[in-house]
Amino acid sequence: MSAPAKTSASPAATEERQGTRRRRHKGIAGNTLWFWVFVGPFVLGLLFFSYLPILWSLILSFFEAYNTATPSNFVGLRNYVDMLTDHNFLSSLGTFTIFAVFIVPLTFVLSLALALLVNQVKIARAFFRSVFFLPTACSYVVASLIWKLSIFNGVRFGLANTVLSWFGVENIAWLSTVDPPWYWLPLVTVRLWLQLGFYMILFIAGLQRISPTLYEAAYVDGAKPGWQVFRYITLPQLRATSVAVLILNLIAAYQAFDEFYNLLGPGVNYARPPLVYLYSISLGSIQDLGHGSAGALILATIIMIVTLLQSRILGFGKAGD
């Protein structure tokens, strides 16, 4: 028996299928075009203002580059060795360590406490969220100058010294770099004021993802509202958010610049974080871009290693139990 002959589609059906393909192709092409229209400027900005400077900094780190961004003499790894043996650079890393010891735990605890309080508010919840989040929109430079000129300016007309004078305490030179190191209070408080609202929002988002049935089950099992519920229900459910807050906060502490530079200035070696020191040797009177680039890449490597270790230890990205 011969095989049945294949029936060909009608010309109208064939034309309809071809028209559908053309419309689908046109739709994909149109979506791709508008995607690059919106995303293209940001990609170009990221390329020219981030990736190319990083690449050029990597090149400069292997050359002598005094008062110029053009490489001159190739020196290999000498710039890296000089920075790793530079007492001032190592001291700046110690300054960061002190700053991180203060700012990371305080930011974590206070932002979590604010999130818990605001999340419990039943009236005007959006208002309180906005009030605590609003400082995030303020510039670090502006906030640092307010702290320096108005709150902690060291004279009797400053807000901090005025309040202390009510209790009979004499004026304190808050920004003096001699012992006792009172300058840590302005440095830490201005950073807390600026970033607490951002991390509070992250914790609020985490709190809203917790199922209410978990709390109901805990109450049925006899858990008492307060510390027991927080310890055994809320905090474990916030594990991913907590790890993200710790990582972001530590990276932000490494990048501290504005408050140190505007409150203390660039000339204090023992109260100067890495970015301020690198700024002083790269764009200050020396303008040594070779050593500055090497120091910047060393700092970037340290940030990457610490972030990866912290993510590994805390289990960032792992599924919850």
Percentage of the chain exceeding pLDDT 70 = 85
Site of tokens 């309809």: 16
DSSP letter assigned to residue 148: I
**CATH classification at residue 212:** 1.10.3720.10
Token duo for residue 191: 């950073």
Is 47 in the same domain as 143? no
Query: pLDDT tens, 89-141?
Result: 888 888 888 888 889 999 999 999 999 999 888 887 788 888 888 999 888 89
Is 93 in the same domain as 196? yes
Question: What pTM was computed for the model?
Answer: 0.77
Is 132 in the same domain as 228? yes
Is 55 in the same domain as 135? no
Residues 285 and 107: their CA atoms lie apart, in Å, by 36
Residue 69 lies in a domain: no
Residues 258 and 187: their CA atoms lie apart, in Å, by 10
Instruction: State yes or no: pLDDT of 320 exceeds 80.
Output: no
Is 111 in the same domain as 248? yes
Residue 190 lies in a domain: yes
Token duo for residue 320: 């919850």
Domain span holding position 88: 78-314
66-80, 194-208, 242-256 — which one is most confidently predicted on average? 194-208
End of a domain among 60, 92, 114?
60
Is 120 in the same domain as 250? yes
Residue 142 lies in a domain: yes
Total number of domains in the chain: 2
Helices (H), the chain: 11-46, 52-60, 78-84, 87-120, 125-133, 140-146, 159-165, 184-208, 212-220, 227-229, 235-237, 239-254, 258-264, 274-283, 289-314
Site of tokens 């807050």: 245
Please list, in sequence order, all residues whose beta carbon lies within 8 angstroms of the beta carbon of residue 18, skipping any fewer than 6 positions away: none
Return the closest-CA partner of residue 119 out of 200, 213, 223.
200
Is 217 in the same domain as 91? yes
Residues 229 and 219: their CA atoms lie apart, in Å, by 8
Is 264 in the same domain as 300? yes
Is 54 in the same domain as 142? no
Tell me how many degrees the CA angle 217-220-222 measures, rounded to the nearest 5: 115
Mean pLDDT of 31-46: 84
